[in-house]
Amino acid sequence: MTRIAIGSDHAGFELKSHLIDVLTGEGHDVVDLGTDSTASVDYPAFCAAVGRSVRDGETELGIVLGGSGQGEQLAANKVRGVRAALCNDLYTARMARAHNDANVLSMGARVVGVGLAEEILATFLGTEFEGGRHQRRVDQITALEDEF
Of 10, 18, 99, 134, which one is the catalytic site residue? 99
Task: Count Cβ atoms below 10 Å from residue 133 Cβ, excluding itself.
Answer: 8
* CB-based contact 1:30 (threshold 8 Å): no
Q: Which of 88, 95, 128 is nearest to 110 (CA)?
A: 88
Residues in the chain: 148
Q: Catalytic site residue 10?
A: no
Collapsing DSSP states into helix, strand and coil, what is residue 29?
Answer: strand
Residue 28 identity: H
Residues annotated as catalytic are 99
